[in-house]
Amino acid sequence: MERTTLDLWVGLFVVAGIAALVFLAMKVGNIGTFDTAKTYSVTAKFGNIGGLKVRAPVKSAGVVVGRVGEIRFNTQAYQAEVVLNIGNQFKFPIDTGASIMTSGLLGEQYIALEAGAEEKMLAQGDVLKITQGAVVLENLIGQFLYNKADEPTTPAK
C-alpha cells in the first residue's frame, strides 16, 4: 500500500481511538466535576451512615456542591466521621446542618446540606455540629408497627 494512504489510515485510527477515550472520560465518566476544582473539606459526625460511600454526592437544595472524601470510624465517640469536600465557590454558614438522604426509594445515598443563618462561613477543617444520620428502614417499620399497636382499634364495620 502507498505510504501516504497508510499514514492517513493509521492517523485516523489513532485519532478515533483517542477520541473514544476522551468520550469515555468526559461523557461517560465524571472527570471534570470537582476532581480538578479546588475544594475545602469539613467534617461531620453521624450516628449511622447507612450505605453512604466515598465519592457520594454532597447536595444543597438538590444541587451537587461537593463529594464525600473519606469515611472514618471514631473510636472515642463510636461515631462515623465523614469528610466532605465542598467546592470553593460554595460558601456555607457555620451552622449548616448535614443529613444523609436517599435519592428515590432504592437509590444511592447522598449528604444534604441545609444552610444555616450565621454570618460566619465554614472554613477548611471545620466540624458540622448539626447532623442527622441515615434512616434505617427496619427502625422505621418497627416504629410504625409500634405506633399502630398503640392506636385504639377501630370497631369492625
Partner 1 sequence: MPERVIGGFRKIGHRTIDGVWRMGVSTRFFLLTLMHSGICLRRPQLVIREIFSAGVLSLIIIIVSGLFVGMVLGLQGYETLQTYGSEEALGILVALSLVRELGPVVAALLFASRAGSAITAEIGLMKATEQIAAMEMMAVDPIARVVAPRFWGAVISMPLLAALFSAMGIFGGYLVGVVMIGVDDGAFWSQMQSAVDFREDILNGVIKSVVFGVAVTVVALFEGYDAPPTAEGVSRATTRTVVTSSLAILALDFVLTALMFRGV
Residue ranges in contact with partner 1 by CB under 8 A: 1, 3, 6-7, 9-10, 12-14, 16-18, 20-21, 23-25, 27-31, 33, 35, 53-55, 57, 104, 106, 108
Contact predicate 113/68, CB 8 Å: no
Smaller CB separation from partner 1, 3 or 157: 3
Contact predicate 42/91, CB 8 Å: no
* Shortest distance, position 25 Cβ to partner 1, whole Å: 6
Contact predicate 134/119, CB 8 Å: no
Classified as helix, coil or strand, 118 is: coil
* Shortest distance, position 102 Cβ to partner 1, whole Å: 13
Tell me the CB-side half-sphere exposure of residue 21, using CA atoms within 13 A.
Answer: 5
Smaller CB separation from partner 1, 108 or 118: 108
Smaller CB separation from partner 1, 53 or 129: 53
